[in-house]
Amino acid sequence: MTTSKSKYTKLIKAYAKNLGFMSCGISKADFLEEEAPRLEQWLNQNHQGKMTYMNNHFDKRLDPRILVPGAKSVVSLLLNYYTNDTQEDPDAPKISKYAFGRDYHSVIKDKLKAFMKYIHSEIGEVDGRVFVDSAPVMDKAWAKKSGLGWIGKNTNLISKKTGSFFFIAELIIDLELEYDHPTTDHCGNCTACIDACPTEALIAPYKIDGSKCISYLTIELKDQIPSEFKGKMDKWVFGCDACQTVCPWNRFSKQNNEASFDSNRELLTLNKKDWEEMTEEVFETLFQNSAVKRTKHEGLKRNIKFISNL
């Protein structure tokens, strides 16, 4: 006889697929015991740089039941953003693949709202919250716990089937479900990501000094980029794909089929000069629905100046 737990689990996983998520894993909402000492050490070593928000809500970060009272399950979801598209001018400042299309926050938020609506209509009164980069949730830890991949030496979640070019989102709900089990680590002796990091942010296998990461320097850091990184940015001005590009598991990445992530052709055809002379008006038009908006025009100009020695 099918239990309601089993029935609801199947229902949720099937609808995740229906919404276009590439994977769905479920884990019990509980205290993240393994992550607690690691997070504490990482913060004590100031590897968060000026991301002061990382120091906040330590307890909520490690226990979803504090973040969402009554929480019983964490539903982790992966959405593929990989594309074979590349920027046309090899000399142009570089941006991460995930920013070629529409801002993922709004795309995923819409899907998660539809997901909760579906749960309410099919299952009934289920309480909970949806998350995509919007709260103190340890996305990778939960995705790992629910068997969607392992956390690699580059500190990204990696899946044997699909690599690592995906976004992670969650539903934290007060519904008991059937839980998945973690998978094993498949990095082996490979150190390709550590060797490829332009700023040596990967200080050891599975350890990142966030304050040296190009994604942090180009997006999170609001001050001037420290001069020690001059000549080390490899032309990145918004995010960085270096450690993912060299990862052997990403040979299994497949073109995403999310229309919202279709690359902005105008963006891909910009040459070096276009980037360097970009006005605020062009910035606002070009990046209207893009994640790049986060840097604001001033921030992007600062990044371009830093890599171009203008």
Domain boundaries in the chain? 4-84+103-173, 192-251+263-308
- What pLDDT is attached to residue 38? 84
Q: Where are the alpha helices (DSSP H) in the chain?
A: 4-18, 35-44, 58-62, 64-67, 104-122, 139-145, 192-196, 214-215, 242-245, 265-268, 272-276, 280-286, 296-308
pTM of the model: 0.94
Q: Residue 178: which of 3, 62, 6 has the closest Cα?
A: 6
Residues 128-171: tens digit of each pLDDT: 999 998 778 999 999 999 999 999 999 999 999 999 999 999 99
Q: Is the dihedral of CA 246, 182, 133, 106 positive or negative?
A: positive
The separation between the first and the last C-alpha atoms of the chain, rounded to the nearest angstrom, is 70
Alpha-carbon distance 104 to 2, whole Å? 36
Whether 241 is a known active-site residue: answer no
State the DSSP H helix or E strand holding residue 170, giving kind and residue range, or none if neither.
strand 166-173
DSSP-based three-state secondary structure for 158: strand
Average pLDDT (194-222) is 96
> Which of the following is catalytic: 133, 185, 262, 274?
133
List beta partners, residue 208: 202
Confidence band for 34, pLDDT divided at 50, 70 and 90:
confident
In angstroms, the CA 193 to CA 279 distance is 35
Task: State residue 1's pLDDT score.
Answer: 45
- Residue 56 has a pLDDT of 66
Query: What does the pLDDT read at residue 52?
Result: 64
pLDDT digits (tens, 9 = 90+) for 213-239: 999 999 999 999 999 999 999 999 999
Over the chain, what is the mean pLDDT?
A: 94
pLDDT in tens, 238-264: 999 999 999 999 999 999 999 999 999
What pLDDT was estimated at residue 35?
85
Q: How many CB atoms lie within 10 A of CB 288?
A: 12
Closest by CA position to 77, among listed 3, 186, 184, 157: 157
Q: What is the pLDDT of residue 54?
A: 65
Alpha carbons 215 and 234: distance in angstroms, whole number: 12
